[in-house]
Amino acid sequence: MDEFTTQHLSKWLDTLFPVRYREHRDKLEKDIIEFVTEYPDLLQTHSWPEIHRMIIRNKEQGIGKGG
């Protein structure tokens, strides 16, 4: 991901998680970065919430690294 995209992701995560949930925020950031590294085209076609839902769905179904 380029610097702008990384900053955009970070800002979005900061709006979701209060400071006391930093551990959860950082875990989700790591998961998203891994996911979009594997599927970079998603950055052109999906929002962060959509990508987040895809990660959750894949984990629930045992697909990919998170499963």
Q: Are 13 and 29 in contact (CB under 8 A)?
A: yes
pLDDT (tens digit, 9 = 90+) per residue, 28-43? Answer: 999 999 999 999 999 9
Instruction: For the chain, give every domain's residue range.
Output: 3-61
The structure's pTM equals 0.85
Number of Cβ within 10 Å of residue 16's Cβ equals 13
**58/10 Cα distance (integer angstroms):** 22
**What is the radius of gyration, based on Cα positions, of the chain?**
12
pLDDT (tens digit, 9 = 90+) per residue, 3-62? Answer: 999 999 999 999 999 999 999 999 999 999 999 999 999 999 999 999 999 999 999 998
